[in-house]
């Protein structure tokens, strides 16, 4: 751990006299800035963002005749408080909308409704599995023997390994891997079980998932997902406005190249700071921490990422089969994937994406172990058109096309990710905090929570500086 020399400097400044630099203007960095500036005695806050725009992975832009269609995230979980609470705080609550009811499917040579009674693909009862044609009879029988099986070790912390051992390969390949894998662009054989808390909780609670699930409280009523009607980018715009209104400074087009020790504090390129929040993805944090905290950097360097491309297409509503009405989209299990991993029928899912005479689709390509960003735009489009056409049994003729590339889109939480991050955090010098998707959860709510947690730790650090001076 590097000494900042904080103890050597007699410094009577209050927290309000301190300066915090947040590196990264994605949702985690903006949440950190909002939380810092909401403190009773807030420090000075500067957000430095390398891109010319804020939002990072969150991008909302016009598509076809629609003013705002998300390129990446199009919703956040409503059943955890952090993103909905953040939207509330930013005054966006009246604008939150939820997907229209729509049936999601898994494509296994044809579309199959996702059976009832699953938790992220993992069965919590047998009725839904008994009814589906997505599994073979032998797959169903294997799954039904789950309560008879001995406790499965949670080692080696592999989601895929755990699910296969409890329910067999079919439940894993046709349900859990597509459902969880499509959320995180993950290969669930190489993904931490502990990092999927809903499943990890059931796995730790009892020997048998099916028996343990009987004692689960019923799912709360109310919507599962929310999004601002102006797109998820509205969250970024509102956070930007809140930071500026509270006196914070945001600089875009400001890539940070180095963080160095400067007496009792830090120099972020040429900006002096008493504390720094690195709200950039782990690979960027590794570069900035390299000489400052080599141990922390070496640990964070072990967090890989997966790239994805997301194609937004519109097709003529006259060519859209009536049998697909009421569906929200579908997932493609790994053994059946070519390039496409999922497709969402955007204008059937979101009322505000309704376009007269057209259907809007969003098609996801690539995941951990299925690279796609080496392909040119023509190849991505051809791959999407071929795959989706084959899945739906139609000739897809896109009218409008938007291709969004997301290098390093999703950090991959390998087994024992939590221990890796805890070790990296413990190896950080005081006054440097981490926030964002690489660490304690990938979804927007987790990123917002991570941003505000890093702000709390930073405020504690600033207050300890004032106490010791």
Ligand X SMILES: Cc1cc2nc3c(=O)[nH]c(=O)nc-3n(C[C@H](O)[C@H](O)[C@H](O)COP(=O)(O)OP(=O)(O)OC[C@H]3O[C@@H](n4cnc5c(N)ncnc54)[C@H](O)[C@@H]3O)c2cc1C
Footprint of ligand X (CB under 6 A): 23-29, 48-51, 56-58, 72-76, 255-256, 279-281, 284, 308, 310, 406, 409, 436-437, 442-444, 447
Q: What is the DSSP string of 333-390?
A: -GGG-SSEEEEE-HHHH-GGG-BTTEEEEEEEE-BTTB--TTS-HHHHHHHHHHHHHH
Decide: 78 and 230 in contact? Cβ < 8 Å. Answer: no
Q: Which is nearer to ligand X, 159 or 447 (CB)?
A: 447
Give me the least distance between CB of 130 and ligand X, in Å please.
31
Task: Round to whole Å and give the CA distance between 50 and 421.
Answer: 24
Q: Which is nearer to ligand X, 29 or 121 (CB)?
A: 29
Residues forming beta bridges with residue 311, ordered by sequence position: 363, 403
Give me the least distance between CB of 240 and ligand X, in Å please.
12
Decide: 208 and 124 in contact? Cβ < 8 Å. Answer: no
Give me the least distance between CB of 397 and ligand X, in Å please.
24
Give me the least distance between CB of 309 and ligand X, in Å please.
9
Q: Which is nearer to ligand X, 73 or 87 (CB)?
A: 73
Q: Which is nearer to ligand X, 57 or 174 (CB)?
A: 57
Decide: 36 and 455 in contact? Cβ < 8 Å. Answer: yes
Decide: 55 and 61 in contact? Cβ < 8 Å. Answer: no
Q: Which is nearer to ligand X, 166 or 362 (CB)?
A: 362
Give me the least distance between CB of 69 and ligand X, in Å please.
13
Give me the least distance between CB of 183 and ligand X, in Å please.
8
Q: Which is nearer to ligand X, 71 or 170 (CB)?
A: 71
Of 328, 385, 344, 380, the C-alpha closest to 182 is 344
Give me the least distance between CB of 101 and ligand X, in Å please.
18
H-type alpha helices, 91-216: 127-131, 137-144, 159-167, 169-171, 177-184, 197-205, 209-213
Q: Which is nearer to ligand X, 6 or 232 (CB)?
A: 232
Q: Which is nearer to ligand X, 28 or 385 (CB)?
A: 28
Give me the least distance between CB of 416 and ligand X, in Å please.
20
Give me the least distance between CB of 271 and ligand X, in Å please.
11
Q: Which is nearer to ligand X, 104 or 442 (CB)?
A: 442
Give me the least distance between CB of 227 and ligand X, in Å please.
8
Give me the least distance between CB of 73 and ligand X, in Å please.
3
How much of the chain is in helix, strand and coil states, percent to nearest 5? Answer: 40, 25, 40
Give me the least distance between CB of 129 and ligand X, in Å please.
27
Of 74, 89, 359, 445, the C-alpha closest to 231 is 74
Supply 262's token pair. Answer: 């400067």
Of 32, 109, 452, 43, the C-alpha closest to 247 is 43
Of 362, 369, 372, the C-alpha closest to 308 is 372
Q: Which is nearer to ligand X, 126 or 183 (CB)?
A: 183
Residues in the chain: 469
Q: Which is nearer to ligand X, 210 or 332 (CB)?
A: 332
DSSP-assigned letter for residue 194: T
How far is CA 196 from each of CA 176, 180, 243, 280, 351, rounded to the nearest angstrom?
11, 9, 32, 22, 30
Strands 340-344 and 327-331: antiparallel
Q: Which is nearer to ligand X, 171 or 286 (CB)?
A: 286
Q: Where are the beta strands (DSSP E) in 259-339?
A: 259-262, 265-268, 271-273, 275-278, 305-316, 327-331
Residues forming beta bridges with residue 402, ordered by sequence position: 312
């Amino acid at each position: 751990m590097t000494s900042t020399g904080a103890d050597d400097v007699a410094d009577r400044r209050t927290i309000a006299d301190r300066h915090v630099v947040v590196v990264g203007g994605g949702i985690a960095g903006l949440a950190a800035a909002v939380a810092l500036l909401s403190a009773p005695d807030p420090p000075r806050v500067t957000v430095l963002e390398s891109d010319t725009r804020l939002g990072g992975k969150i991008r909302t832009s016009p598509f076809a005749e629609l003013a705002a269609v998300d390129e990446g995230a199009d919703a956040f979980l409503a059943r955890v408080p952090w993103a909905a609470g953040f939207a509330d705080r930013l005054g966006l609550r009246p604008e939150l909308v939820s997907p229209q009811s729509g049936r999601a499917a898994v494509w296994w040579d044809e579309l199959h409704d996702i059976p009832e009674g699953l938790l992220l693909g993992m069965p919590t009862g047998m009725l839904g599995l008994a009814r589906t044609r997505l599994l073979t009879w032998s797959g169903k029988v294997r799954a039904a023997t789950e309560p008879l099986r001995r406790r499965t070790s949670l080692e080696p912390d592999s989601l895929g390994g755990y699910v296969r051992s409890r329910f067999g390969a079919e439940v894993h390949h046709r349900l859990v891997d597509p459902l969880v894998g499509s959320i995180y662009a993950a290969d669930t054989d190489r993904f931490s079980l502990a990092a999927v808390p809903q499943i990890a909780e059931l796995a730790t609670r009892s020997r048998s998932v099916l028996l343990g699930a009987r004692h689960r409280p019923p799912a709360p009523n109310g919507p599962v997902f929310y999004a601002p009607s102006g797109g998820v980018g509205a969250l970024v715009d509102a956070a930007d406005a809140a930071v500026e209104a509270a006196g914070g400074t945001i600089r875009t087009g400001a890539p940070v190249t180095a963080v160095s020790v400067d007496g009792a504090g830090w120099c972020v390129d040429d900006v002096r700071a008493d504390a720094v929040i690195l709200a950039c993805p782990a690979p960027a944090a590794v570069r900035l921490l390299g000489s400052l905290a080599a141990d922390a950097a070496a640990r964070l360097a072990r967090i890989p990422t997966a790239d994805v491309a997301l194609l937004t297409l519109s097709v003529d509503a006259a060519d859209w089969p009536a049998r697909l009405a009421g569906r929200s989209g579908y997932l493609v299990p790994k053994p059946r994937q070519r390039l496409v991993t999922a497709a969402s029928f955007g204008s059937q899912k979101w009322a505000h994406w309704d376009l007269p005479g057209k259907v809007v689709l969003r098609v996801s390509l690539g995941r951990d172990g299925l690279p796609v960003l080496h392909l040119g735009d023509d190849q991505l489009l051809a791959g999407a058109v071929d795959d989706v056409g084959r899945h739906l049994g139609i000739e897809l003729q896109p009218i409008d096309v938007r291709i969004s590339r997301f290098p390093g889109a999703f950090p991959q939480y390998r087994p024992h990710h939590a221990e890796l991050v805890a070790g990296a955090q413990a190896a950080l010098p005081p006054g440097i905090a981490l926030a964002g998707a690489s660490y304690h959860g990938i979804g927007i709510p987790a990123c917002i929570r991570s941003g505000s947690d890093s702000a709390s730790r930073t405020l504690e650090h600033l207050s300890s500086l004032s106490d010791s001076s």
